[in-house]
Chains A and B, each alone.
Chain A
Amino acid sequence: MVSFILLAAGKGSRVEQKMPKQYVSIAGKPLLLHVLDKLTKIQEIDQLIICCELEYSGLIDTMIANHYPGLAYELIEGGATRQQSVWHGLQVCKNETVVIHEAARPFVRTKDFLRLIQDEMPNVIYGADIPFTVLKGKEFVEDVLKRDELVNVQLPQKFVTSRLKEAYKKALANKQEFTEDAGLFYTYCEAEKIKVLKGLQYNIKVTYPIDFLVGEVIYREYIVGREE
């Protein structure tokens, strides 16, 4: 069985909306609900942990009561950073397998979760090709990176819970912050392999205002797959 950490604590500061982006709608539906829609039929998930700002807990309770009455879930207070939010979630995980996803990636499909969960490897992530050239440097170019050796890291990701917790403790001790968990896990759990499944370009992270526009198209064409 799987514990599922759903990150919904982001403040969405880069998106020019008043509400944090996970509560903002694409196709009339908040991003958080897009993700919940894909989760609730997955038998393997028997613990759902939602990390959120507690001031929005009432909103989430109402959303779940209206759309998924009877769904069991735990609301955990998010941390100041993404890493701290995951750390809070890990404290209550009861299973040895944890899947981590974020509300800002609404176009994940049920089958993407199932493929990750059912993969025989214990630590698995999704990664997409990088379609553009990436150079190192800020004000001046310092190096050329080979994009065919790089991967655009996506969520969802799956880890062995205890191993990820050990890695987190080391990262915390070193006061090192990561923007996602595969990097952290790789750095502090070197002995463990992390398998990369081919991710799709549709699984965007809604970050900028334009992503809400792009998201409408992705929803219509890819998630629903309907003609105009």
Chain B
Amino acid sequence: MTTVIITGASRGIGRATAVKLSHCSQVDNMVLIATNYDGLLETQRQMSSGVHSELIVFDLSQLWNIDQMVQSIYDKYGSIDWLLNIAGYADPQLLLDTTIDNLSQTFTVNFFSMAILTKAVVKFMKLNEQSQIVNVASTAGSTPRPGWSAYAASKAAVINFSETLSEELAEYHIAVYCVSPGRTATDLRKRLAPEEDPTTIMQPEDVAYTIYTLLTDETQCLAGQDLIVRNKKM
């Protein structure tokens, strides 16, 4: 039985990944996490009915409740095999415009929540023969872009965290992937670049395809690296 947790599954890259993975014959149970129930429901509607799915409305910035949520998932399914940290938050500000709240929310959703969630899940993954983690960072984590300091720093943290964990968890046969997409046509992008024509940039399904490919690649040769995913047509 393969049980998968996907955060940020109510739209964008998370939704496209959930839909894609629901057609993967290796997957039995999918637990989808986000705060918007209607969004999760729509994702579930688009997924293959051949897979069991559960929707969890949960605000990942509630760091102290993450452990308990993961425990209940484990109790229900008996194992947690794949963890996909896709949820993300972006409200880019110039340094002198940014606030403690902005810095804090950016780091809480993008980094702390995924770190705490990963910690809670790895405790159970150590009991498996094989497990996989995919963390979605961003090209912003390795390329400077004025006005994006908080987001970029939080994604750099995701990249470094992933690279470190890949080494730390290799012994337990837990493969850790880090996927850094470039501009992708999602709500997040639309809010930040409203004038951009979304058909000219990468689609969430493209990123989902990459994640699917990584998860179904038995060689695991791409684990532990910051994998840049860009639209070749750009």
Q: Are A28 and B168 in contact (CB under 8 A)?
A: yes
Q: Give B169's nearest chain A residue, CB to CB.
A: A224
Number of A-B contacts (CB under 8 A): 15
Interface size on B, residues (CB 8 A): 8
Q: Counting CB contacts under 8 A, is B170 at the interface?
A: yes
The secondary-structure label for the interface of chain B is helix
Q: Which of the four size classes fits the interface of chain A?
A: under 10
Q: Counting CB contacts under 8 A, is B171 at the interface?
A: yes
Binding site for B on A (CB under 8 A): 27-28, 37, 41, 67, 69, 223-224, 226
Residues of chain A with a CB closer than 8 A to B172's CB: 37
Distance to closest chain A CB from B163 (angstroms): 13
The secondary-structure label for the interface of chain A is loop
Residues of chain A with a CB closer than 8 A to B76's CB: none
Q: Give B122's nearest chain A residue, CB to CB.
A: A67
Q: Give A41's nearest chain B residue, CB to CB.
A: B127
Q: Counting CB contacts under 8 A, is B123 at the interface?
A: yes
Q: What 12 new A-B contacts, CB under 8 Å, besides A28-B168, A69-B123?
A: A27-B167, A27-B168, A37-B171, A37-B172, A41-B127, A67-B123, A67-B126, A223-B171, A224-B167, A224-B170, A224-B171, A226-B170
Residues of chain A with a CB closer than 8 A to B168's CB: 27-28
Distance to closest chain B CB from A214 (angstroms): 18
Q: Give B166's nearest chain A residue, CB to CB.
A: A226
Distance to closest chain B CB from A218 (angstroms): 12
Distance to closest chain A CB from B131 (angstroms): 14
